[in-house]
Amino acid sequence: MTYEIRPAAPHDVPEIVAMVHELAEYERSAAECTLTEQALAANLFADHPAVHAHVAADGQTYAGFALWFLNYSTWTGTHGIYLEDLFVRPQHRGAGLGKRLLAELARLCVERGYHRLQWWVLDWNPATEFYRGLGAVPMDEWTVWRLDGEALPGLAAGLPIPYDDPGPDRAEGR
């Protein structure tokens, strides 16, 4: 089959949501994935969408997708693309679709004057070698931080946040 890489359309939403859930299963976090068709459609096709998607599809067969949004670099003074999810269904891997999806996002970066295309990858994911083969490099010196759960509304409301880990500075009395 010949798969077309194209921007997502409203009729693609059910398959994209299904693939997001397949990705969550693959990443061992299916219980955390609560995405619905309604939520994705509302975000992808809003008047001024903040999230975008491309699909690899041939008629009614969907092989993969890339879901992304813009970020911004104060170092370069330009936007970039942050790839939230890249997924190719297992039966379609090895056909170059992941590379084609990434190449389309790279093309958008170049066309729009963006200087970066970046994403996170789980350390155990065998795709790291695929990404290295494309010329991507891991940002090993950076640590991802997240504020969510009870801490997010707590901080927003100015509530004290319990902190159990003393860290190296506190542990040594600094």
Active centre residues (catalytic): 131
Residues in the chain: 174
Phi, psi of 99 (to 5 degrees): -65, -40
Phi, psi of 79 (to 5 degrees): -70, 170
Q: Which amino acid is at 36?
A: T
Residue with tokens 């409203």: 10
10 Å CB burial of residue 163 (0-12, 13-18, 19+) is: exposed
Q: Mark out the alpha helices in the chain (DSSP H runs).
A: 13-26, 37-44, 97-112, 127-133, 151-156, 167-171
Q: CA 19 to CA 133: how far, in whole Å?
A: 24
Q: CA 15 to CA 86: how far, in whole Å?
A: 14
Tokens representing residue 25 in the block: 């299963």
